[in-house]
Amino acid sequence: MRLYNSLTKRVEEFIPIEEGRVSMYTCGPTVYHFAHIGNLRSYICEDVLEKLLRFSGLDVKRVMNITDVGHLSSDADTGEDKMLKGAKREHKTVMEIARYYTDAFFSDCAKLNIKTPDVVEPATNCIPEFIHMIEGLLEKGYAYKAGENIYFDTSRLKEYYVFGNQNEDELMVGVRDDVTEDTNKRNKNDFVLWFTKSKFEDQALKWESPWGVGYPGWHIECSCISMKHLGERLDLHCGGIDNMFPHHTNEIAQSESFIGHKWCNYWFHVHHLNDETGKMSKSKGEFLTVSLLEKKGYDPLVYRLFVLQSHYRKPLTFSFETLDQTAATYKKLKSRIAAVADEGNVDEAALKEWHDKFVQAVGDDCNTAMGLTLLYDVLKSELNGATKRGIIEDYDRVLSLDLLKEDEEEAVDDELRAYVEARIEERAEAKKAKDFARADAIRDELASKGIMIKDTREGVVWSRA
């Protein structure tokens, strides 16, 4: 497996710390609203990455947080609390909002065939862990108290901008510019670890801490939740590109200061989904969700295919015209696969050969488009039907497009057709035996189910009423 690493800005061989096992951490959603299809682009790509690692024979443990506290409407510790904003909007409590949108998120994920990570941990479960890390940072002199909040002191670090020497302007992409200066901060990039005093007196969730009643800043949760479940050395950390700064930069700063050594080896960042007006974002108000796509008649897996057609390191522009094209592609692809008869014996050697081809091609920095190309190559190949179906089933462990699943409507139709045809046959037998009462009873039974039959010169034809 080769992966682009945002730390080194290069595509590198992926070598886990422990042979055969991967520790993988994903920044989860902030659950104050529905996920938009941009967020879900990131989760689809991360899902493919996880499945690909497993597909290539590695054992993966994947952890995801749920941000249910601490994320302010600007990524730089300013603005309103996102959860509180959601609660006010919907006249609910913060915990009700968190529960509702966490469930909505996983229901969207299920529709997109995104696997739930092995561990999912809401930030509000881990307050003692946050306090423990903040205490450690204070003891080691990496944090300070000012204006009754605790801040991380970025001037104590040899290197703060770790992502491949990007300059500050580049890193500020995605950070909103309505940032009001916090005068407690000693350095511009210092960030809050724990708030006891902030401008929101009505902060709904508060906890006791050695520094007074308060709540955590946003970044601390990912360092703590990751270490809680995956230890102090992490193989792989994922998120959307906007998470690179300040979120991931701050995660690295506090984690490595706390543990005193390198924390995570590979950083995987998914580029944004944009709409025609620019970056898709929840704070814009109107945004595209999976439910909206469904309401418009799209199968959510069409959106998954749309994402897989492009590379995760390129921005992707969404439009309904392109989605329509993808819907047509998906339909054609599925009917081509459905036409592959399950005949012959599975050629195990070919199965292995094509499996390895997929690992090679898609394993080259998550090249999902190459995976789709290989799928068409399988269909075009001279392999027998059973082997083709075996390979497709194998590939679908990563692509997760339900390639071999018959459309529900068609499946129902097939079932219905078989039932109606059996009854028609029975009726013909009854007629032949001059049992007209029985023949009529069958006709009535079908009619009661909304099936009309007609005797024609070509035989019996049926239709739905």
Of 82 and 388, CB closest to ligand AMP: 82
Of 26 and 400, CB closest to Zn ion: 26
Residue 239 pairs in a beta bridge with: 269
Among residues 453, 465, 450, 448, the alpha carbon closest in space to that of 422 is found at: 453
Q: Quick one: what does residue 270 bind among Zn ion, ligand AMP, none, with the CB cut-off 5 to 8 Å set by partner type?
A: ligand AMP
User: How far is Cα 41 from Cα 12, in angstroms, rounded to an integer?
Assistant: 23
User: How far is Cα 97 from Cα 455, in angstroms, rounded to an integer?
Assistant: 60
Q: Quick one: what does residue 363 bind among ligand AMP, Zn ion, none, with the CB cut-off 5 to 8 Å set by partner type?
A: none
Provide the minimum distance between the beta carbon of 162 and Zn ion in the complex, in angstroms, as a whole number: 15
Of 3 and 273, CB closest to ligand AMP: 273
State the DSSP H helix or E strand holding residue 255, giving kind and residue range, or none if neither: helix 249-259
Q: Quick one: what does residue 222 bind among Zn ion, ligand AMP, none, with the CB cut-off 5 to 8 Å set by partner type?
A: Zn ion
Provide the minimum distance between the beta carbon of 123 and Zn ion in the complex, in angstroms, as a whole number: 10
Contacts 24+ apart (CB under 8 A), 206-213: 207/127, 209/127, 209/131, 209/134, 210/131, 210/135, 211/145, 211/148, 211/150, 212/148
Provide the minimum distance between the beta carbon of 6 and ligand AMP in the complex, in angstroms, as a whole number: 12
Of 162 and 222, CB closest to Zn ion: 222
Q: Quick one: what does residue 137 bind among Zn ion, ligand AMP, none, with the CB cut-off 5 to 8 Å set by partner type?
A: none
Residue 316 burial (CB count, 10 A): 18
Of 303 and 395, CB closest to ligand AMP: 303
Among residues 67, 149, 83, 52, the alpha carbon closest in space to that of 368 is found at: 52
For ligand AMP, the nearest residue by Cβ is 240
Q: Check: CB of residue 304 under 8 Å from CB of residue 112.
A: yes
Q: Quick one: what does residue 280 bind among Zn ion, ligand AMP, none, with the CB cut-off 5 to 8 Å set by partner type?
A: ligand AMP
Of 219 and 304, CB closest to Zn ion: 219
Residue 246, preceding peptide bond in cis (omega within 30° of 0): yes
Provide the minimum distance between the beta carbon of 406 and Zn ion in the complex, in angstroms, as a whole number: 39
Among residues 30, 27, 76, 70, the alpha carbon closest in space to that of 234 is found at: 27
Q: Quick one: what does residue 240 bind among Zn ion, ligand AMP, none, with the CB cut-off 5 to 8 Å set by partner type?
A: ligand AMP
Q: Which residues bind Zn ion (CB under 5 A)?
A: 27, 222
Q: Quick one: what does residue 226 bind among ligand AMP, Zn ion, none, with the CB cut-off 5 to 8 Å set by partner type?
A: none
* Backbone conformation region of residue 196, classed left if phi is above 0, alpha if psi is from -120 to 50, else beta: alpha
Q: Check: CB of residue 368 under 8 Å from CB of residue 399.
A: yes
Of 88 and 313, CB closest to ligand AMP: 313
Q: Which residues bind ligand AMP (CB under 6 A)?
A: 27, 29-30, 38-39, 41-42, 67, 239-240, 242-243, 270, 272-273, 279-281
Provide the minimum distance between the beta carbon of 333 and Zn ion in the complex, in angstroms, as a whole number: 35
